[in-house]
Amino acid sequence: MAPAGTALGLSTVYRWTADTDRLRLTVSVTPDGDWRVPLPRLGIRLGLPAAFGSAEWFGGGPGEAYPDTATASLIGRYRMRVDDMQTPYVRPQENGARPDVRRAQLSGGGATVQIDGEPAFWFTARRWTTERLDAASHLSGLAPGDTVWVHLDHAVHGIGSASCGPGVLPRYQLLAAPAEFSIVLSSTQR
């Protein structure tokens, strides 16, 4: 995986395995090139039908947190609508991540998808892609679509305070480095 027009990339191997009712994805990442910029996140994104509007997780919460803002995040079991996981900043920007999640479930329409992390992961669910979020200049530009976009991240970059102070401190930067993580997917129908 690589951005266009650069000599940088991430050599990525996706290994899928399955048993009777679970699907495991193990992702191995090795940086290629001379990375001098941090990554925004390292993980996978998947889309679920819009009906999957209820989220439950065991991990950090109840509100959003990032590596440099996680002081108030408490480990516990939380449940809320996907729409309520968003932070309505005046100007739309990255938001809604939950840290240290061991298990997450998304439900709707009589079905549930369960995600278990090995190790714990960062969990974000919203009704628009990161690309749409970045392009929006106002909340009114973020109309829900027909997909719930779920980020299951091994690591995320801190948010800093560059709008009114310093950028992300070095210890909260996500630098390109070898990594391996797994998620296990399972589902149930009612």
* pLDDT score of 88 more than 70: yes
Please list, in sequence order, all residues whose beta carbon lies within 8 angstroms of the beta carbon of residue 119, skipping any fewer than 6 positions away: 154, 181
d(CA 37, CA 47) in angstroms, rounded, equals 28
Tell me: the pLDDT tens digits for 8-34?
999 999 999 999 899 999 999 999 999
Higher pLDDT, 40 or 3: 40
d(CA 99, CA 76) in angstroms, rounded, equals 11
In the prediction, which pLDDT does 71 show?
87
In the prediction, which pLDDT does 162 show?
67
Q: Encode 82-113: b = buried (16+ Cβ within 10 Å), e = exposed.
A: beebbeeeeebebbbbbbbbbbbbbbbeeebb
Tell me: the pLDDT tens digits for 104-128?
999 999 999 999 998 999 999 999 9
Q: Encode 65-81: b = buried (16+ Cβ within 10 Å), e = exposed.
A: bbbbbbeebeeeebeee
Provide mean pLDDT across the span 144-159.
95
Q: Would you say 100 and 59 are in contact if contact means Cβ atoms under 8 Å apart? A: yes
* pLDDT score of 186 more than 80: yes
Residue 160: pLDDT band by 50, 70, 90 thresholds? confident
In the prediction, which pLDDT does 17 show?
97
**Nearest Cα to Cα of residue 70 among 100, 40, 115:** 100
d(CA 176, CA 155) in angstroms, rounded, equals 11
Query: Measured at the alpha carbon of residue 131, what is the angle toward residues 129 and 135, in degrees to the nearest 5?
Result: 120
Q: What is the CATH number of domain 9-189?
A: 2.70.98.10
Higher pLDDT, 136 or 163: 136
